Structure 1
Amino acid sequence: MKLKQKFFKQNGGILLQQQLSSPEGNVERSRLFDSKELEKATHNFSENRILGRGSQGTVYKGMLTDGRIVAIKKSKELDEGNVEQFINEVFILSQINHRNVVKLLGCCLQTKVPLLVYEFIPNGTLYQYLHDPSTQFPVPWDVRLRIATEVAGALSYLHSAASIPIYHRDIKTTNILLDEKYQAKVADFGTSRSVGLDQTHLTTLVQGTFGYLDPEYFQSSQFTDKSDVYSFGVVLVELLTGQKPISSVRAEEGRSLATYFIISVEEDRLFDILDAQVLLQGKKEDIFGVADLAKRCLNLSGRKRPTMKQVAMELEAIRKPSHSPTGERSGNFETDGIEAHNIAFRSARYEAGHSISSI
């Protein structure tokens, strides 16, 4: 018991308790879990419960006493100076309530390293869905467009509608998870930061993933909301082309997908690089609309990029004609002749053990 109390204090438990009991805190949205419950939920953090390992820690699948399936992330050890920042981020993320953001249910601070408890997302990542060679069926255009719109809406919420603006700082297809209905959930807030309402940027050591990293941020170390916009632009291009963000197969000047895309558009070769499914199913004006939006997101000058709110609105407008009562397409992902794809993909993801590896 004394050891539990020591770890609880060491991991910032008292500070978190104070924040959760403050008028701004929402106790219903966040919970402090007991270490024994999480040990039981994971069969004492058994190897066969591991969903994935990442730079931030190891993620386990668990079942709580109320029967809920969860993902439990065992974080790496915190430096003493990072405890307050960690607790602040846990508190902020506990306030996020958006259908397209993976929900943080709570944490446990009674162990040597903090444990974070998330809702369980069963169907892997968007990266796997687009690029896994075992995938037998192509991803329909309507689904690509819907996922893009959902992610844009989530980022718009984080940037401008959350109680405190949040920059994600690592948007990529491996950090976009797919739930049981293949709806998008933005995940991995390990490097995310909240910003003051009067702040325009964060000055930090450069962090992120090559292929998605904003060149302006890379040069200046100043991360802005437009840096997330750039990364989202790369995700849009992945959805359009079905190609990976970095590839040694492409010529040297086009190894970066963003560069390859911009060059292709400028040389009027857009339709040469599009995914076959996009060409087959997408309306030309919709494809041009998304491609133009992606190009603007990838502008080397951050101030010339749209905001995520503008991006979300434009994608909604592109989708709208496809889902109007008078002209509805057969774009229902759950019922359109690709359910076999869903089942095969779901099975493959469970076997591979990658379901929520990027939290």
Structure 2
Amino acid sequence: MISTIVWGTGNVGRAAIRAVDAHPGLELTAVVVHDPPKVGRDAGVLAGLDRELGVAATDDVHAVLAGRPQAVVYAASGDIRPDEALADVIRAIAAGAVVVTPALYALYDQRNAPAEVRDPVAAAVAIGGGSLFASGVDPGWGNDVLPILISGLGTEVDVIRCQEIFDYTTYDQEDSVRFLVGMGQPLDYDAPMIAATVPTMVWGGQVRMIARALAVEFDDIREVVERRPLERTVETAAMGTFEAGTQGALRFEVQGIVAGEPRIVVEHVTRIHASCAPDWPLPPTGDGAHRVIIEGNPRIEVSVEATDEKGNRADGGNATAVGRLVGAIDWLVAAEPGLYDALDVPLRPAVGRLGARRG
């Protein structure tokens, strides 16, 4: 059994605890929290399971890493604390752990990461013998391995388009929705997620990985952003009121330009209510989906709808992203220490988990 800790118990961390517990080759040995009221609480309770796991949450990072865990699922946020997240991950790698995380956007495509991010991680690998695999929660597989796999089914490929389409009406993540993405804010609000160069920083690596897999060189990466106002005030159960006239929908693209045309595109279409921007792409059913479209001969379209146990599609998407990361741990432990990306790490089958639901 591979001793594994989960660091952070937000939306991603809760899914990570459940994923580690369900994996037959992993043993959950510690859970790290930052919120004092969570200290001492059982991991199963924090994860929303109907049973305790016998692992009490702690805020003593030093003691946890001193125990030399083999793997760390780093689930704490990197959105508004990127420097702190990087420092945490470096600390775990230097302690000898394999680290999987969605928090370090710049390292999704680790080969082209800025030196100021990549070099300290590489130094930690050399010191401690750990490894790093970073992949997204949007989810990463939807913007790398899935489109690459599907592209191989076509005879001719003109455009590869990866879409995340979500209605945030029931999403319980108010700070991210209101302040990071800008829902409910004036249309001239400077939302950090769509500030110039930020979409490329977050999703450009996935565009580059698709290009690398297809042996394509692109001329440039471009960003296209469009925002729509709410035509009426809407109420949400999880986040309260969003006023008419404020941002109600956001659509942006990160485009890999080949011969002057956008050929590899990662696109996000998000709303705070289904009534806003009805002419934009919609999920096949429910409140969200991930879609890959291969324009070419033949035209191929694949939509993936993941739903968690409470029926939430956004959290279901998080769970699949976490499943990809947690499922890679045993491969990473067996591999040489180093930095890895989605093209290095194979998508792992659910060995030992078919029909083995617990609880």
TM-score (norm 2): 0.27
Greater strand proportion: 2
TM-score (norm 1): 0.27
